[in-house]
Amino acid sequence: MHMNKLSFFFCLLACLCFGQYSWAQKFGYVDTEFILTKIPEYQEAQSEINKLSETWQKEIAESYKDIQAKYDELQAEEVLLTAEMKEERLKEIQRKEEEVKAYHKKVFGFEGMFFLKKKELIKPVQDKVFEAVSKVAKEKRLQVIFDKSGTLVMIYTDPIHDYTDYVLEELGLGDPNDTVE
């Protein structure tokens, strides 16, 4: 019985200590997607990335269109060709198709040219936002800031914990008519 009271006392003490510690933690959230839309450098980077992507996509689509035309041409002339000629032309078309697939992978594949260009243009802006978030977190004495635009799902958020405006203000992008309290 004495051991039960002692165990209960330590459990109660642990709960109280943990409870006080968890209440002392301060959380907030920001919407980085919204913040990024307010940064001109991000808009410029996105525009450049979109133009590059469209250019590469058109180039690849044109290559596939040429390959399809060669397949159609082969099919139309098939009756006039010997087996060796047909095989040779088919191999040439397949080789070109493999080249286009390799180029597509080089451009749009994992760590391809598109990925690297996007990283090159957007990472500096993301770093700038991260620095502003860190500064706001330290100033507001927050232990954790969530990004509600990412994979974090929040069913309800109290706007009092939204620090997006503070980060925009820190980046010099705040609305002059909006007052942050």
Mean pLDDT, rounded, for 62-71: 96
Measured CA to CA, the distance from residue 165 to residue 28 in angstroms comes to 12
Mean pLDDT, rounded, for 44-61: 96
Q: Kindly indicate the confidence band of residue 177, based on its pLDDT and cuts at 50, 70 and 90.
A: confident
For residue 180, pLDDT over 70 is answered with: no
* Residue 3 confidence (pLDDT): 41
Model confidence pTM above 0.95: no
Measured CA to CA, the distance from residue 145 to residue 134 in angstroms comes to 9
Q: In this predicted model, what pLDDT tens digit does every residue of 87-137 receive, in sequence order? A: 999 999 999 999 999 999 999 999 999 999 999 999 999 999 988 988 888
Domain ranges for the chain, please list them.
22-170
β-bridge partners, 145: 28
Other Cβ atoms less than 10 A from the Cβ of 170: the count is 20
For residue 21, pLDDT over 70 is answered with: no
Q: What does residue 162 show for φ and ψ, rounded to 5 degrees?
A: -85, 115
For residue 150, pLDDT over 90 is answered with: no
